[in-house]
Amino acid sequence: MGVCPKRLKVLYVTVERAASFAAAKVQRHRILAQPRTGWICRRCGRPYPCPTWTGFPLDGRLRTALLPGFLRMAQQAVRDLRGRPGGPTPPEIVRRFLWFVPLNEDEARAIAPRVC
- What is the pLDDT at residue 27? 54
DSSP state of 14: H
Q: Which residue has the higher pLDDT, 10 or 83?
A: 83
Cβ neighbors of 41 (< 8 A, separation 6 or more) are: 33, 35, 47, 48, 49, 50, 52
pTM of the model: 0.65
* Count of C-beta atoms within a 10 Å radius of residue 62: 18
- pLDDT surpasses 90 at 94: yes
Rounded-to-integer distance, Cα 56 and Cα 81, Å = 25
Q: What is the mean pLDDT of residues 25-33?
A: 50
